[in-house]
Structure 1
């Protein structure tokens, strides 16, 4: 191979590799579907809103129920990760009770469950929080909402997203009115994925840029 051909080959190989990397980086992703807020967005002030919902600052006890770990990344619709995104999340406790004065169900209150968190994404859009597997509600009702976690996601320059995260293969999913209204593709985007670690889930979020 001549010197010219060798240089030409290396140049094309380098450009092709860079193009492949760029292609991976900007691969389009489907936007996470929206969902209703629900009636129990927290209204009672609380100081502790960190990423560990299994305990409350100043109390020694732990929340009841199965402890789960949820992690993921936030992307834009072109596949780029987004740092410093605010994720506002809340859920029912393991008995299916919300920490909200309007939840008058007979399910017990868990004084050691934080119930509400506001966290920020880190480098490359990573986030993680620890919580308990939410109970279905209302307690003992003929029709119950399938376990889920509410999320409000926001960052300047992107459309805010209000959604709900569901759990894979839960028997109540296909009986839940809101879940069933979604297409199979939308259901997949709103459902967390299991990992090789027990009680650990991955959930990625995709936001749309403001044009």
Structure 2
């Protein structure tokens, strides 16, 4: 993962700039009947003691502008399918089961240094009405001080990445793909990924 740097045509001391995170579609399953959990742990909605089913993952990163300055207090909406590939949305006709302990919708705010983090489960792949199969992905909307970006986060090693029309329509789709690593030697059952998000102006 990670945003690479690119050179502008003007040269000079400001020639190096971070590449903007590619945008993606909102998709048909932005929550319409749920309020977001205002917490960074999607695996335990509303303080539930039960935990969502699936591979536990942590996503961490920073929201930055193209010059590398942090974007403080940016709002991040997160929504995703559960481990079986099912959204908690009335338009999702996938016959996969809902997870009663997973809402899959949360809202976060970056800190003063632009940092964010959340704990969730790795979403499952799912079929579309057009006959495609979407790879596991997480939707994010980021509202900074000047910009609003809608994007999606994907996972390395997924075979469906190669054929996903939305991922491959993005400029530099590799910037949307993260690699999951063990969280620590003490919690090998949980994985972590770094995903920095770059807005044009912040």
Task: Normalising by structure 2, report the TM-score.
Answer: 0.83
Q: Distance in 2 between matches of 1:200 and 1:144?
A: 25
1:193 lines up with 2:182 in the alignment: no
Any conservation in 1 of the 2:36–2:106 contact (CA below 8 Å)?
no
How much does 1:189 deviate? Answer: 1.4
Any conservation in 2 of the 1:85–1:121 contact (CA below 8 Å)?
yes
Moved more, 162-171 or 189-198: 189-198
Across the two proteins, how many residue pairs are aligned to each other? Answer: 184
Q: CA RMSD for the aligned pairs?
A: 2.4
Any conservation in 2 of the 1:150–1:165 contact (CA below 8 Å)?
yes
Q: How do 1:138-153 residues align onto structure 2 when only pairs under 5 Å count?
A: 138=127, 143-153=132-142
Unaligned runs of 5+ in 2: 1-11, 184-189
Q: How do 1:155-174 residues align onto structure 2 when only pairs under 5 Å count?
A: 155-156=144-145, 158-174=146-162
Q: Distance in 2 between matches of 1:52 and 1:75?
A: 23
1:182 lines up with 2:174 in the alignment: no
Task: Normalising by structure 1, report the TM-score.
Answer: 0.80
Which protein has the bigger helix share?
A: 1
How much does 1:34 deviate? Answer: 0.7
How much does 1:193 deviate? Answer: 3.5
- The residue aligned with 1:209 is 201
Unaligned runs of 5+ in 1: 1-22
Any conservation in 2 of the 1:26–1:80 contact (CA below 8 Å)?
no
Provide Cα deviations, 1:100-148, integer angstroms capped at 9, x if missing partner.
0111210100110131011000131110000000001128x96310110
Any conservation in 2 of the 1:96–1:137 contact (CA below 8 Å)?
yes
Provide Cα deviations, 1:141-191, integer angstroms capped at 9, x if missing partner.
9631011000110122x22101111111211100211122234xx212111
Q: Distance in 2 between matches of 1:162 and 1:44?
A: 20
Which protein has the bigger strand share?
A: 2
SS of 2:113's equivalent in the other structure is helix
Larger radius of gyration: 1
